[in-house]
Every structure is written in C-alpha cells, then in structure tokens.
C-alpha cells in the first residue's frame, strides 16, 4: 500500500496521510508511534506543547527506518514567538526528536493579541535557510493572518494546519489556500469524537455503500478533497483502519452529501477560536 504524496509550494512533498499524537500521553508515545510506523505510517505530526517529542524521537530511532523515508512535523509554541526564541525552541525540539532537521515546522497559533506571528514566521524562514527544517508553515491562521504574513515576509507558507471536519469546513480559509497554493492540513479530521459525525446519514450511508467504517468514509472524504490528515488513536486496530483508506473511492454524490454537512445542527468548531488563543 502506497500513501500518496502531495507536492508543496516549495517543491518538497508530504505524505497525505499521517499519524498525529496530540494527547498521546508521553509515557505511551514511544509504543504508539512504534506501532504506527510498523503498520506503515511514515508521517508523524507532533508539537512542542504536546510534551511527547521524546517518545516520537525514541520510536523513530528504534525503528531503523531511513530518515529520508520519514516525514516529521513539529510546532513552535505560543510563548516562543519573540526575539530569537524560535531558534532555541526548534533546537530543543530537534534534541528531543533526535533529529538534525524536521520536515515541516509550524507556527502553532497566530496569538493575534500579542501581534508577533509575522515575526515568528520570519524567524521560521531563517530556520529553513539554516537547514533546521525543510519546509515551513502555519497553523490556525485565518485569512487576515495569512494575508499579513505573506505581505510582510514575502513568503507563502507551505501549509496551514486548521481545524477541519465535515461539520466545520472553514471554506474561506480553504479558498484562500487554494488561490495561493497552500496545502490544507485538517486537524480534528474526525471532529475529535465530539459530535455524532459517524451517525449522520451522509457518512453512515457512504460507509455502508463501500463496506467501510464511518471513520474510513470521513478520512476518504478528506483525501478526495485534497486535505492532508493525521488522525489520532492509540489503538492498533484503529491505526490499521485509518491507514486502510486507499481501496475505495467516494462518488461525487457522496462527497457532495458530506460537503453539505456544514452547518450541522449542534456542532461546528470543536476547538478554540484562533483569536482567543494568546
Ligand atoms: P481526531 O479528529 O483525529 O480525533 C481523534 C479521536 O478520534 C480520538 O479520540 C480517537 O479515539 C478517535 N478515532 C480515531 N480513529 C478512529 C476510528 N478509526 N474510529 C473511531 N474513532 C476513531 O482529532 P485530533 O487528534 O485532535 O486531530 C488529529 C491530529 O491533529 C492531532 O493528533 C494533532 O497531531 C493535530 N492537531 C493539531 C492542532 C493544532 O492546533 N494545530 C489541534 C488539534 C490536533
């Protein structure tokens, strides 16, 4: 089974499906990531704030998988945007990950009240030039944050990692990304289990029609929309299930029915609004 790779606007490529480790407890991370690598995942999404980069690093080191076959993302936390802190922060992350460089480094949140996200992204440009990360991007950026970042640095981020699932599709941010050749990474691709996504007819019917689980139908919807996803689970059977999404294709009607789920009564954003995180 081959996971498709998508080209980024800087010429590098990224596996479209990966494994995210938000809320994987540090003590469980090495085991969970080792299992994910064994099952076939090659793209790992972590962050300094998750507190589990050491476990990711230990699993990678133990795997024996050549570095060039892996894609590792980590993120700069909100209190380290200023001065030359991003350089110190990435060095700490690289130490924990036991890597010389990551494949993708992101500004985790724009923290607009502090008005320092443009500075942070400008620092990421320097880190890329220094070879500490191959690609750079942002996360949780809304259109005004993106516009200003590009206008003031002259560099277009390779990705924007945003909350995105059927009931919350952020169409304005996605349209901006498409127009500027920025890849969308969808976090919370399954809505973090916070609403009954799997029970809605558009998802349940598509799953039944293809003999797959509702989670697989939703992941397939993301992939066919062009989103990069890295669903989280610490259970091996679910990791296998989440990787097994390349043997079927949703029809245009099934895609349209899931597209129509935003807005869905009683749901929407399951995480924080980017303006409220500072
Ligand atoms: P998710 O939508 O992947 O949901 C995870 C939940 O879904 C877990 O509770 C898990 O038990 C369940 N699940 C996973 N696979 C399943 C399956 N096959 N069947 C049924 N249930 C299943 O949400 P997430 O973990 O928040 O998002 C994925 C990744 O996105 C994270 O691990 C992290 O890497 C990233 N993320 C980034 C940000 C950010 O601010 N940039 C925020 C949250 C998450």
Closest to 217 (Cα-Cα) out of 169, 146, 229: 229
Element (H, E) at 45: strand 43-45
The share of the chain scoring above pLDDT 70, in percent, equals 100
In whole angstroms, give the CA distance from residue 276 to residue 255.
32
CA of 102 to the centre of ligand 1 (A): 21
Radius of gyration, CA atoms only, the chain:
18
What per-residue confidence (pLDDT) applies to 266? 75
Cβ atoms of 44 and 19 within 8 Å: the answer is yes
Q: Tell me the per-residue pLDDT of 187-241, one tens digit each, with 9 for 90 and over.
A: 999 999 999 999 999 999 999 999 999 999 999 999 999 999 999 999 999 999 9
Superfamily covering domain 5-196+221-246: NADP-dependent oxidoreductase domain (3.20.20.100)
Cβ atoms of 153 and 125 within 8 Å: the answer is yes
Element (H, E) at 165: none
Q: Tell me the per-residue pLDDT of 101-112, one tens digit each, with 9 for 90 and over.
A: 999 999 999 999
Give backbone dihedrals phi and psi of 76, rounded to 5 degrees, phi first: -80, 125
Binding pocket residue ranges, ligand 1, CB within 6 Å: 20-22, 45, 108, 139-140, 161, 187-193, 215, 230-233, 238, 241-242, 271
19 is an active site residue: no
Cβ atoms of 213 and 241 within 8 Å: the answer is yes
CA of 129 to the centre of ligand 1 (A): 32
Cβ atoms of 197 and 214 within 8 Å: the answer is yes
In whole angstroms, give the CA distance from residue 151 to residue 139.
17
In whole angstroms, give the CA distance from residue 64 to residue 114.
42
The model carries a pTM of 0.98
Q: Tell me the per-residue pLDDT of 67-89, one tens digit each, with 9 for 90 and over.
A: 999 999 999 999 999 999 999 99
Nearest CA to ligand 1 atom 37: 187
Residues 51-89 as b/e (b if ≥16 CB within 10 A, e otherwise) read ebbebbbbbbeebeeeeeebbbbbbbbbebbeeebbbeb
Looking at 50, 105, 117, 168, which residue is catalytic? 50
Cβ atoms of 139 and 100 within 8 Å: the answer is no
CA of 217 to the centre of ligand 1 (A): 15
In whole angstroms, give the CA distance from residue 8 to residue 2.
18
What per-residue confidence (pLDDT) applies to 265? 79
Instruction: For the chain, give every domain's residue range.
Output: 5-196+221-246
């Amino acid at each position: 089974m081959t996971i498709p790779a998508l080209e980024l606007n800087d010429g590098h490529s990224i596996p479209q499906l990966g494994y995210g480790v938000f809320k994987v407890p540090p003590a469980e991370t090495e085991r969970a990531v080792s299992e994910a690598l064994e099952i076939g995942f090659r793209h790992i999404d972590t962050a300094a704030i998750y507190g589990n980069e050491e476990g990711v690093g230990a699993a990678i080191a133990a795997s024996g998988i050549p570095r060039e076959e892996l894609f590792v993302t980590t993120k700069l936390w909100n209190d380290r945007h200023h001065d030359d802190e991003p350089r110190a922060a990435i060095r700490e992350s690289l130490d924990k990950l036991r890597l010389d460089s990551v494949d993708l480094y992101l500004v985790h949140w724009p923290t607009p009240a502090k008005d320092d996200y443009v500075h942070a992204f400008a620092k990421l440009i320097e880190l890329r030039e220094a070879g500490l990360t191959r690609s750079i991007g942002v996360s949780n950026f809304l259109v005004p944050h993106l516009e200003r970042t590009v206008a003031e640095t002259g560099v277009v981020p390779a990705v924007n990692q945003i909350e995105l699932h059927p009931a919350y599709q952020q169409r304005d941010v996605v349209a901006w990304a498409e127009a500027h050749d920025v890849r969308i990474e969808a976090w919370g691709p399954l809505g973090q289990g916070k609403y009954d996504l799997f029970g809605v007819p558009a998802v349940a019917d598509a799953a039944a029609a293809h003999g797959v689980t509702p989670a697989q139908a939703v992941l397939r919807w993301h992939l066919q929309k062009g989103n990069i996803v890295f669903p989280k689970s610490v259970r091996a059977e679910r990791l296998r299930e989440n990787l097994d999404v390349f043997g079927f294709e949703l029809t245009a009607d099934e895609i349209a029915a899931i597209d129509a789920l935003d807005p869905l009564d009683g749901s929407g954003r399951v995480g924080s609004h980017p303006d409220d995180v500072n």
